A = this chain, B = another copy of it.
């Protein structure tokens, strides 16, 4: 994950700098927004997409790459490489960038594997499958260590985010069943 969080609602106008009013706009909207009394710009707060990969290794994909987080939140916990989708990227492009930034892993990008709503924090998490083409990693500054784990080795109680845990559980279950699917979940 990058260090960006969902910001609090804007207090000042992004276009002209005037203090905002909090009210329902006059355009038929039904929700309270930040509305600029000076230039009429309406400010929307929308959910963010978090994109990542399930990087796997081995003839049967029996090992996955996890990263030991070197930054808050959840410093010292293990995660799949993931972070906020940036403007101009597809989900696969964003997932590839995060996999490079956080693990320095060489991959062949695969299909979307999981989509999980984390509505409480205004996020949608999306993980792509990614076949590792090397088992040498060069983690970036956000990562203390990057290494491969079999299902039995995964530190299940030390996983940083629920969406990572659920995605890993689905991945190993699908591998046992012999077919990789697409999974959705709504998490708290």
Contact = CB atoms under 8 A, between A and B. Distances in A.
Given A11-B14, A17-B11, A87-B122, A112 B115 contact: yes
B186 A90 contact: yes
Interface in A4-61: 4, 6-8, 10-19, 27-29, 31, 41-49
Contacts of A47: 49, 85-87, 89
Q: Which secondary structure dominates where chain A touches chain B?
A: loop
Contact of A12 (B17, B88, B92): B17
Chain A, interface size category, equals 35 or more
A141 B8 CA distance: 31
Q: Count identical subunits in the complex.
A: 2
A91 interface: yes
A119 to B, nearest CB: 5
Interface of A: 2-4, 6-8, 10-19, 27-29, 31, 41-49, 84-93, 111-112, 115, 117, 119-120, 122, 124, 126, 141-142, 182, 184, 186
